[in-house]
Chains A and B, each alone.
Chain A
Amino acid sequence: MRTLLTVFRKEVVDNFRDRRTMVSALLMGPLLGPLLFTFVINLSIERSLSNLDATMQLPVIGSERAPNLMRYLESRNIEIVAGPDDRAAAIEAVKAGTHDLVVIVAKTFGEQLAETVPARVELVSDKANTQADREARRARNALAGYGREIAATRLAARGISPQVLRPINIDEIDVSTPSGRSAILLGMMSYFFIFALLMGGMYLAIDATAGERERGSLEPLLSLPVTRDQLIYGKIAATCVFMALSLLLSLGSFFVALKFMPMQKLGMTPNFGPDILLLAFLLLSPFILPGAAIMTLVASFTKSYKEAQTWLSVVLLAPTLPILIVSILTLRPRLEFMFVPSLSQHLLLVDMIKNEPLNQLHIAISVTSTLALGAILTWACARLYRREGLLG
């Protein structure tokens, strides 16, 4: 035990003095992540808000053929501007991106309308362009609305109630709470935390094997009257401390960053007070052990510092995989998922932010399965540290 503590203390002191470790542990993960996140969220909020009420410019070819339609569109906050010369030019302009979409009122529009034949309006857009798609949808809705109005007038003229066109009435009831809506955005952040956590211990994990070997300090260390198990456990313990520190810092900086996000504008109230901060730390902290062990384990197979760095950046991405799969398939939290480290932490964190009551059984499974994996990996590290090949 004393040996373990000696190794632990030395590793902590050693790495606190190492600028590279400190930068990655205390700056890169904890600060860069939330900064980037704030930026991205702000940008997306800005965009979605501006699209809702801002006046939209709509280039129209042949606006003079449909003055009533134009007036209707203008009443919907759509500003009509002159479009390209003809249809071919319009298609070219949309392809080139000079216009997001162009509406073409056919030459026969007035006649067709008078003859009650469906009158032709063309809408040129690029469906692959998501920004333009939103505007195209808005234009299409406005055009359809105009169509419905004319239909209602025509029916009324024939003495038929416009109600016949609405055989059913759809009322949507949105049960998502404001916090629930923010959870979609904030769900991403659990990965930031796991990333910051792993970054915090990366250089210590490399140092335990590849680093010591490269510096030539491993062989004298192994010739001391101590067991290798104690050495590796001490090193993993130090790695855990740095990971915990990094996690705590990233939670703290996220807490601050959230104050600069206009979440309320979207009707979202992210649930992220100091008590949640602590709870989040407790929920995420079991991941520290398997995180530290897997990084040490992978680093022990590598021949050099550089090789270890390469492999460990793969390890940094590995915890995203289960989160990504579940997000893409939009699966609801299930009991089985709690057995998967990183995924279980992610799901619990999302629930917590959504202000939903946490399932005690889920927490218990998440904590024990994550710690069990950590214990197995730590044991595997110790096994590997005993082999001769360690010296390379």
Chain B
Amino acid sequence: MIVVKELHRSFGKVKAVRGISFTAPDGKVTGLLGPNGAGKSTTLRVLYTVLKPDRGSATIDGVDVVTNGLEARRRIGALPHGSGLYPQLTARENIAYYARLCGLDESGIDDKVAGIVDLLEIGAFADRRSKGFSQGQRTKVALARSLVHDPQNIILDEPSNGLDVMATRSLRALILKLKDAGRCVLFSSHVMQEVAALCDDIVIIAAGKVAIDGSADGIRKRTGCDDLEDAFVKAIHMVDAE
């Protein structure tokens, strides 16, 4: 479970995040939805501990990301935006490298990697060097490598960027599989339909603030809009008006 409370973070004069709070429970898919530059990536980067917040707190399964970053990282699998692979290593080697870094037992690594290769259906190119991979192949391998240590919490920053229809569908299936396994899945997107199709909870972020959050139905009801897209636009205008 991921709990974010009153998070603030500025870069120089730019206030990227101005008091974001939400909870992403286990066994559910939580979507961060917002226009470009709304503060989604900054929030996620605080969660996987590469950024420190100016104010506020965030916990992963109760572990504080600021004071106990290493322990918090143990509980998450993160797919940062535009994740790259090591081009000279094969897909399998890329995944095994992360498995070792996560401290997995050496004897179990091969099986573990084989399991995740099957789960993500990347066996066809698993033994090729990742130099010539397509965007979809790269994303799948990057995802596989961040899941290899069975993290309870999964943080995905714009995972469907640059994926074709087939790849998007299989990503969606995977996210649902993780949810059914009782994991906490938190992902960001700026694509309305994707979030609507997948998420149990939606957190709409605009200009560094939470505009509105709740289930898709809840958001429709509260904004008085039947269409989720209209609700999204309305919520964002509410923040801008402040």
With a CB–CB cut-off of 8 A, which chain A residues contact B146? 220, 223
Q: Is B115 an interface residue (CB 8 A)?
A: no
The answer to whether B52 touches A388, judged by C-beta atoms less than 8 angstroms apart, is yes
Least CB distance from B85 to A in Å reads 6
The listed residue (B45, B86, B103, B129) touching A217 by CB distance below 8 A is B86
Residues on A with C-beta less than 8 A from B80 are 216, 219-220, 223
Which of A10-18, A66-74, A130-138, A260-268 is the interface stretch?
Answer: A10-18
A60 to chain B, nearest CB (A): 69
Instruction: Report the separation of the CA atoms of residues A10 and B85 in the bound assembly, to the nearest whole angstrom.
Output: 13
Q: Are A216 and B97 in contact (CB under 8 A)?
A: no
Q: Is the CB of A18 within 8 A of B103?
A: no
Whole-angstrom distance between the Cβ of B39 and the nearest chain A Cβ: 16
- Bits for B108-148, please: 1 = Cβ < 8 Å to A, else 0: 00000000000000000000010000000000001001100
For chain A, which range describes its interface: under 10, 10 to 19, 20 to 34, or 35 or more residues? 20 to 34
CB of A7 closer than 8 Å to a CB of B: yes
Chain B interface size range:
20 to 34
Measured CB to CB, the nearest residue on chain A to B85 is A217
Partner of A223, one of B73, B82, B88, B97: B73
Check if B89 sits within 8 Å of A13, measured CB to CB.
yes
Report whether A6 and B100 are in contact in the complex, using a CB–CB cutoff of 8 Å: yes
Judge whether B83 and A217 touch: CB under 8 Å. yes
User: A224 an interface residue at 8 Å Cβ cutoff?
Assistant: yes
**A391 adjacent to chain B (CB < 8 Å):** yes
With CB as the reference atom, state the residue of chain B lying closest to A388. B51
B88 partner residues in chain A, CB cutoff 8 A: 13-15, 17-18
A1 to B2, CA, bound (A): 30
A353 to B197 CA separation, bound complex (whole angstroms)? 76
B215 in contact (CB, < 8 A): no
- Known contacts A14-B86, A216-B84, A217-B86: does B79 contact A224 (CB below 8 Å)? no
B70 interface residue (CB < 8 Å to A) = yes
- How far is A17 from B93 in the complex, measured between Cα atoms in Å? 13
Residue of B nearest to A16 (CB): B88
The reply to whether A225 and B102 form a contact with Cβ atoms under 8 Å apart is yes
Other A-B pairs beyond A18-B88, A226-B101, 9, CB < 8 Å: A3-B101, A10-B89, A216-B83, A219-B80, A220-B83, A220-B145, A224-B73, A224-B102, A226-B73
Jot down 30 A-B pairs with beta carbons below 8 A, ordered by A: A2-B100, A2-B103, A3-B100, A3-B101, A7-B101, A14-B89, A15-B88, A18-B88, A215-B85, A217-B83, A217-B85, A217-B86, A219-B45, A220-B78, A220-B80, A220-B83, A220-B84, A220-B98, A221-B101, A222-B49, A223-B49, A223-B73, A223-B146, A224-B98, A225-B71, A225-B102, A225-B103, A226-B102, A388-B50, A388-B51
Which A residues are within 8 Å of any B CB, using their own CB?
Answer: 2-3, 6-7, 10, 13-15, 17-18, 215-217, 219-227, 388, 391
